[in-house]
Structure 1
Amino acid sequence: MTRRDVIVGVGAGAVGVGAATFAPDLLRGGSSSQPGAVKTVTSLPADDPTPGWFHTSPKREPQPPLIGDAQAPWVVIGAGFTGLAAARQLALNFPDDQIILVEAQQVGFGASGRNAGFLIDLPHDIGAPDYIGNPETANQILELNHTGQTILRELVEQHQITDAQLRHSGKYQGAVEDSGIAVLDAYRGGLEKLGQRYEMIEGKDLPEHLGTSFYRKALYTPGTILVQPAGLVKGLANSLPENVTLYENTPITGVEYGAKTILHHASGRITADKLVLANNAFGTHFGFLERAILPIFTYGSLTRPLTPAEQASIGGKKFWGLIPADPFGTTLRRTHDNRILVRNSFSYNGDGRARPGYTDKVVKAHRESFERRFPALKDVEFEYTWGGGLGMTRNGQGFFGELRPNVYGSLGCNGLGTVRGTATGVLLADWLAGKNHSLTEFLLTAPKPVSNPPDPFLTVGVDFTLWRGQSKAGLEA
């Protein structure tokens, strides 16, 4: 199964799978982004109210929303990992300029605070036989991921963001089905090709690592950093340079493109000399890359803290993270506050918004996955269940660079927004300041996201592919 198949499935052949070129109209978003036209932003972020990471991290007083009009040389939309990184670096590169950072919700409440908290270093191309693919490209991705890790680690140290709970723990990739074992063996070969360290751990030895005998084998790689994602982004927002003004709970409802960009919000307008879009799948509602970035939601549950007796009953390390061999399988974390995170189940939410009541449907799947892995903890209840969006593209490529004159973006992180978003946010801000790094040319010349079929074919194709993948995951789910 390739990455393309995972995202689009039956609709893939209609528009040329894997094309490295893209139509200019895909980038521009058609007539809605032409100068002088007012484009209505048709979908605004609206996530469910129970993100566990957000509520278990220390409370933070959000910055007030913008009332009335504002203007600035630089405006960044989206205060997740990408937007925070871009705004910070623009402020450092242009210390005499004011940077406005606009967030539709509270910082940490959206996708940046809803992921599993893995800062992964290694490339993992599920479309390649060895999960590495072209070594030159893989090494570039490895450098990009290391760049994101380094930036975040240094910011945590510099600003003493203890709420990030940053740990150099590595990650386990666990398998229980024969197909999963084959994935681990293939990935091991790819890692050897790249010269990367790993340890293959047999099932009999895994309980002392994970506190569960469920898995038959795991591949451990030491380079991943684990964090409390909401705590991290809250800390990043609290430590922005003085020439960054952050407005939270300020959704943008319309946009006019021209020599300057005018952004409409509930009580006024923001005029930007230059605009940076760092809002992932919601960038499509600003008139760019329409039907190219797909909002795929995945779901997590977080238990209450385990009692000392419950901790003793399972044993294992006190802090770890595991990703599944099957892309539709279950991700697990044991957290700094002795909770267990379970993340699985997917849905395609075309407007990028949470589906009311959907968490009630997925919690049963989470319960089954949790009790299969930790039968001794069957009486431990979940305290939070939530969903969060990923900006996925059919060919696994993101966008980096100029969208139209004076409008720029880093969009489509494909589930790696923590490290990739951080790195590309900084690199984009440096590129706009005339600073080119070794990775800048790689990002600018990389293939762009390809378009997908229109609805109803798109929704039918994605829904079918997600259903098929989850159905075939077996015990990996």
Structure 2
Amino acid sequence: MVHKTKDIHHLPPDDTPSGWVDPSELSTIGSRAHHDRVTLFDWTVVGAGFTGLAAARRLAELNPNDTVALIDAKPVGWGASGRNSGFIIDLPHKFDLDSDDADRLSAIMRLNSQAITDLEGHVKATGIECGWSPVGKLQGAVRERGTGKMRTFVKALEKIGQPYTKLDRAQVAQIIGTDYYAGAIHTPGCVLMNPVRLTRGLARSLPKNVTLFDGCPVVRFERESRGFGLTLRSRGTTLEISTSSVLMCTNAFTPEFGLLKNRIVPVITFASMTRPLSDSEMEAYGGQLDWGLTPADPGGTTLRMTQDRRLLVRNQYDYAGHYGVQDRSLEGVRQKHRGAFDKRYPQLKKVPFDSTWGGVCGLSRNHVSYFGEIESDVWNSSCHNGVGVARGTISGRLLAEAASGQSSPMLQDMFAVSNTPSLNPPDPFLGLGVRARLKLAAWESKEEI
């Protein structure tokens, strides 16, 4: 519950941003020079990732005479939305695949597909240069554990009538340049992109009645006699915002605002990316450009080959009680990534990683996401369980529609697949338990990492 005054103690840290763009590109987008110290808005959206961007856009479209504030503690693209591996997945993913409920799986599919349609429309209409590529994705397996999970994936696809193609070791190697994988399933609906360029393109093309405050962390949140007050920190000064309604699109940070306390588990996952391969390295690599592979075993390794010849490897997880990782801790992660990379691409052992980074996602013990009006005039979508690009985009849009009094079959789908995350034990017990579970999962999945 939001108390009368809630000071925000843990802000997003100044940790290493993702390697998708040069860090010099991650400047703030919003201009605050013309704003008064106290500003009134009809709506305020907190969090300018995929969820918040979609929510702010839809609020502005549905309420063209209203004013909308969109706030983020960091420059757009710095946070979790710019730290993923660049997949927009249309299918039920990871823990959703454990469901035997065909109606639930179909609802997830409809929601994710609508998210892709919405994003594609914005990309084309505004000319966002983000490497948008509807090439589908591979789900790969290395050994028996992975192939078993792959069979479960196929059953889920058949249950909801989705097309797929089975690829053997040689066929996978022709695409990804290594015969390390026993096989893979190709599904056609996934889109690959550069997540930093996409989020920043979406932010630059928001409707005119949206005011963006990025690089402005909320340091106080209070319920007033009419609406809410938010205190922002901006370049050493403070800004006061008064607003009638708040949409919290803060995912793992939501408990810092007094909401869903002890219900979201912040987990950080890590990625490393090479520099672009040279012509001779491309010849040694021998695979194709522009593909993405997710592991059939959720504890395995994700791979990407970008359109500009960079290879990305993602694995390793940790509990993120303070929402980030110290730079010195990244060296150990980089070494583990090096081992996974070299096993797959021994011919590229001399190709260095340009960057290594971590990104925080919100998980729940019962693998569900929250969606809805969590308190009077406070709406929340959070805890997307590691699949936030599609789920975040569609939930942001639908959160704005619900807050604006609309109803639709799509909203019914969203409410049907959402619930309340389970209650967690407090720290330090939560951190100890999560780290123990992650170590067990890494041991179980060691052949797939």
Deviation at 1:314, TM superposition (A): 1.7
Task: Output the amino acid matched with 1:111.
Answer: A
Task: Output the amino acid matched with 1:117.
Answer: G
- The question of 1:312 aligning with 2:283 is answered yes
Which residue of structure 1 lines up, in the alignment, with residue 114 of structure 2? Answer: 147
Which residue of structure 2 lines up, in the alignment, with residue 292 of structure 1? Answer: 263
- The question of 1:122 aligning with 2:91 is answered yes
- The question of 1:160 aligning with 2:132 is answered no
- The question of 1:218 aligning with 2:189 is answered no
Which residue of structure 2 lines up, in the alignment, with residue 243 of structure 1? Answer: 209
Which residue of structure 1 lines up, in the alignment, with residue 244 of structure 2? Answer: 273
- The question of 1:330 aligning with 2:301 is answered yes
For structure 1, which segment, 55-64 or 436-445, has the greater mean C-alpha deviation from structure 2 after superposition? 55-64
Which residue of structure 1 lines up, in the alignment, with residue 428 of structure 2? Answer: 456
Q: What is the alpha-carbon distance in structure 1 between the residues aligned to residue 96 and residue 30 of structure 2?
A: 42
Task: Output the amino acid matched with 1:121.
Answer: D
**CA separation of 1:248/1:239 partners in 2, compared to 1, >3 Å: closer, same or farther?**
same
- The question of 1:321 aligning with 2:287 is answered no
Check whether the contact 1:124–1:132 (CA below 8 A) recurs between aligned residues. no
Task: Output the amino acid matched with 1:262.
Answer: G
Work out which of the residue numbers 428, 438, 447 in structure 1 matches 2:419.
447
Which structure is richer in relative contact order (CA contacts within 8 A, separation 6 or more)?
Answer: 1
Report the TM-score, using the length of structure 1 for normalisation: 0.89
Which residue of structure 2 lines up, in the alignment, with residue 194 of structure 1? Answer: 160
Q: What is the alpha-carbon distance in structure 2 between the residues aligned to residue 171 and residue 366 of structure 1?
A: 21
Cα deviation 1:387-416 (Å, max 9, x = unaligned): 001111111111111111111111111111
Deviation at 1:54, TM superposition (A): 3.5
- Sequence identity (%): 38
- The question of 1:100 aligning with 2:66 is answered no
Task: Output the amino acid matched with 1:260.
Answer: G
Deviation at 1:354, TM superposition (A): 2.8
Which residue of structure 2 lines up, in the alignment, with residue 475 of structure 1? Answer: 447
Q: How does 1:26-175 map to 2 (within 5 A)?
A: 28=1, 33-34=2-3, 37-55=4-22, 62-64=29-31, 68-126=37-95, 131-162=98-129, 164-175=130-141
Check whether the contact 2:167–2:183 (CA below 8 A) recurs between aligned residues. yes
Which residue of structure 2 lines up, in the alignment, with residue 373 of structure 1? Answer: 344
Cα deviation 1:117-141 (Å, max 9, x = unaligned): 110011135476xx45210000000
Deviation at 1:268, TM superposition (A): 3.0
Check whether the contact 2:268–2:318 (CA below 8 A) recurs between aligned residues. yes
**CA separation of 1:392/1:67 partners in 2, compared to 1, >3 Å: closer, same or farther?**
farther
Check whether the contact 1:47–1:354 (CA below 8 A) recurs between aligned residues. no
Check whether the contact 1:111–1:390 (CA below 8 A) recurs between aligned residues. yes
SS in structure 1 at match of 2:218: coil
Deviation at 1:458, TM superposition (A): 1.0
Q: What is the alpha-carbon distance in structure 2 between the residues aligned to residue 134 and residue 47 of structure 1?
A: 42
Deviation at 1:439, TM superposition (A): 2.3
Q: What is the alpha-carbon distance in structure 2 between the residues aligned to residue 172 and residue 202 of structure 1?
A: 12
Deviation at 1:456, TM superposition (A): 2.3
Which residue of structure 2 lines up, in the alignment, with residue 264 of structure 1? Answer: 231
Deviation at 1:63, TM superposition (A): 2.0
Report the TM-score, using the length of structure 2 for normalisation: 0.95
Deviation at 1:467, TM superposition (A): 1.1
Task: Output the amino acid matched with 2:197.
Answer: G
Check whether the contact 2:134–2:191 (CA below 8 A) recurs between aligned residues. yes
SS in structure 1 at match of 2:447: helix
Cα deviation 1:121-168 (Å, max 9, x = unaligned): 11135476xx45210000000001001111101100010102x11101
**CA separation of 1:214/1:67 partners in 2, compared to 1, >3 Å: closer, same or farther?**
farther
Check whether the contact 1:60–1:234 (CA below 8 A) recurs between aligned residues. no
Deviation at 1:61, TM superposition (A): 5.5
Q: What is the alpha-carbon distance in structure 2 between the residues aligned to residue 402 and residue 54 of structure 1?
A: 36
Work out which of the residue numbers 318, 330, 333 in structure 2 matches 1:347.
318
Deviation at 1:60, TM superposition (A): 5.9
SS in structure 1 at match of 2:22: helix
Check whether the contact 2:324–2:358 (CA below 8 A) recurs between aligned residues. no
In the alignment, structure 2 segments of 5+ residues that lack a partner are: none
Deviation at 1:59, TM superposition (A): 6.2
SS in structure 1 at match of 2:410: helix
Deviation at 1:359, TM superposition (A): 1.1
Check whether the contact 2:17–2:357 (CA below 8 A) recurs between aligned residues. yes
Which residue of structure 2 lines up, in the alignment, with residue 9 of structure 1? Answer: none
SS in structure 2 at match of 1:206: helix
Q: What is the alpha-carbon distance in structure 2 between the residues aligned to residue 346 and residue 86 of structure 1?
A: 29
**CA separation of 1:349/1:61 partners in 2, compared to 1, >3 Å: closer, same or farther?**
closer
Aligned CA-pair RMSD = 1.6
Q: What is the alpha-carbon distance in structure 1 between the residues aligned to residue 202 and residue 219 of structure 2?
A: 26
Deviation beyond 3 Å, 4+ runs, structure 1 = 56-61, 64-67, 125-128
Task: Output the amino acid matched with 1:286.
Answer: F
Deviation at 1:47, TM superposition (A): 4.4
Deviation at 1:255, TM superposition (A): 1.0
Q: What is the alpha-carbon distance in structure 1 between the residues aligned to residue 142 and residue 221 of structure 2?
A: 49
Deviation at 1:293, TM superposition (A): 1.1
Deviation at 1:116, TM superposition (A): 0.6
Q: What is the alpha-carbon distance in structure 1 between the residues aligned to residue 276 and residue 331 of structure 2?
A: 21
Q: What is the alpha-carbon distance in structure 2 between the residues aligned to residue 471 and residue 125 of structure 1?
A: 18
**CA separation of 1:47/1:473 partners in 2, compared to 1, >3 Å: closer, same or farther?**
farther
Task: Output the amino acid matched with 2:172.
Answer: L
For structure 1, which segment, 42-51 or 199-208, has the greater mean C-alpha deviation from structure 2 after superposition? 42-51
Deviation at 1:373, TM superposition (A): 0.5
Q: What is the alpha-carbon distance in structure 2 between the residues aligned to residue 149 and residue 433 of structure 1?
A: 23
Work out which of the residue numbers 214, 218, 226 in structure 2 matches 1:252.
218
Q: How does 1:420-435 map to 2 (within 5 A)?
A: 420-435=391-406
Deviation at 1:252, TM superposition (A): 0.5
Q: What is the alpha-carbon distance in structure 1 between the residues aligned to residue 246 and residue 366 of structure 2?
A: 26
Deviation at 1:442, TM superposition (A): 3.2
Q: What is the alpha-carbon distance in structure 2 between the residues aligned to residue 274 and residue 68 of structure 1?
A: 20
SS in structure 1 at match of 2:20: helix
**CA separation of 1:356/1:58 partners in 2, compared to 1, >3 Å: closer, same or farther?**
closer
**CA separation of 1:50/1:404 partners in 2, compared to 1, >3 Å: closer, same or farther?**
closer
Q: What is the alpha-carbon distance in structure 2 between the residues aligned to residue 39 and residue 434 of structure 1?
A: 28
